[in-house]
Structure 1
Amino acid sequence: MNTVLIKPHFTEKSLKATSNSGFTFQVDQFATKSQIKEVIEATFAVKVVRISTRLSHVPGKRSATRRSTSR
């Protein structure tokens, strides 16, 4: 169950969110919001109000390039 939380994620933006009782964690890619909520409530003895998730390190679209032939 503890494999859901990988590590806390500290950036300038996430440190600003801590003043509003918001915290940022890196979690398992396949964890659901309900699993994340259960683990955080059990680990830190807090009541979770809301969870926002987003995928990171997703490869971007590849752009098409023209193949030119020269004489």
Structure 2
Amino acid sequence: MAGSIWTTEFFDCPNCGLSYAATKEQHSAKHSGSFNCEVCGVEVHAWAGNYDFFNWKIDQPNAPVFGKRWA
């Protein structure tokens, strides 16, 4: 959709705690859906409204670089 607003949102599985990131896109029409955890199968997030979620990924924080001191 041209001119739509995309944001990244973060979710944790309520069962196993695995963290996910997803892209949220605003729409003029209503959408609904849900996403289940890839590990335990429990519903992580469900939505309905003028937005949709896509590009679900496991949220892996950047690992520290060995040999460098933290500022």
Q: Which has the higher strand share?
A: 2
Higher CA-based Rg: 1
Structure-1-length-normalised TM-score: 0.30
Structure-2-length-normalised TM-score: 0.30
Q: Which has the higher helix share?
A: 1
